[in-house]
Amino acid sequence: MTTTIALAGKGGTGKTTIAAFLVRYLLEETDGSILAIDADPASNLPLVLGMDAEDTVGDIREDMLRKVKTSGALAGSMPGGMSKQDYLDYQIQMALTEGDRVDLLVMGRPEGPGCYCAANQMLRVIVDRLQKQYDYVVIDNEAGMEHLSRRTTRDVDVLLLITDPTQRGLLTARQMADMVPGLEIGVGHVYLVVNRLRPKDGRLELPTPLARAVEETGLNLLQIVPEDPELPEFEFTGRPLVEMPAQSVAFQAVRTIAERVTGVA
């Protein structure tokens, strides 16, 4: 049984940081296998996880389409006599970055000009099958829910909508929540996470206007993640965020999120 956690929100809200901390928690507190999917073209998840990723799903898709066009093999086979489905499957397996109980798949660049319908349908089948081989899947989405709306990911058990403490971030989160019923996938639970809130007088509380705005979204506020004074140094030096001290306030807040959405404590 696979538990899939997807993160979405506007750019710059800290989705990748929270995704990395979720992966770290699962590594430390469970014995399960983990697949981390970087579905953001910026591809920052490998850096914060301290993993190298050379090939992306986007590159594989483009390469296959080039081979089809140049060989005229639209209805035929790929190099080595493989079907296009088997060829994509093999290439994606090779693109996986394997770690200690966590593997990484980078989706890469968005689609270019041309028809991607057939390739995307094959990718859906392959990525769905791949994810089912893991106990946990953590998906760091792009600034939006394009990968979810194109159904290049399987059904999602938990969707975390990440916002910074701004009206713009909250508006984007609300718009994304409104998209969920129209998606061609199942979404189990949708939660709001307010990230990078600066404590005031030693207390971590939403300012009244922000608290009112959160209430107006109608979203279930799962957790407030405080601004962490240790994060900038890691981000500036490029050190993997999974190496941050266990007592860091941001990681401790994400631990609480993970315990609530996975039932692992």
Amino acid 264: pLDDT: 66
Residue-range domains of the chain with CATH: 3-56+136-262 (3.40.50.300)
CB 190 within 8 A of CB 220: yes
CB 159 within 8 A of CB 190: yes
Cα separation, 30 vs 5, whole angstroms: 15
Amino acid 240: pLDDT: 95
Residues linked to residue 195 through DSSP beta bridges, in sequence order? 225
10-residue stretch averages of pLDDT, the chain, 265 residues long: 92 94 97 93 91 87 76 58 81 91 86 56 79 94 68 79 94 91 87 95 90 95 96 92 95 97 77
DSSP for 171-208, written as a single string: HHHHHHHHHGGGSSS-EEEEEEEEEEEPPBTTB----H
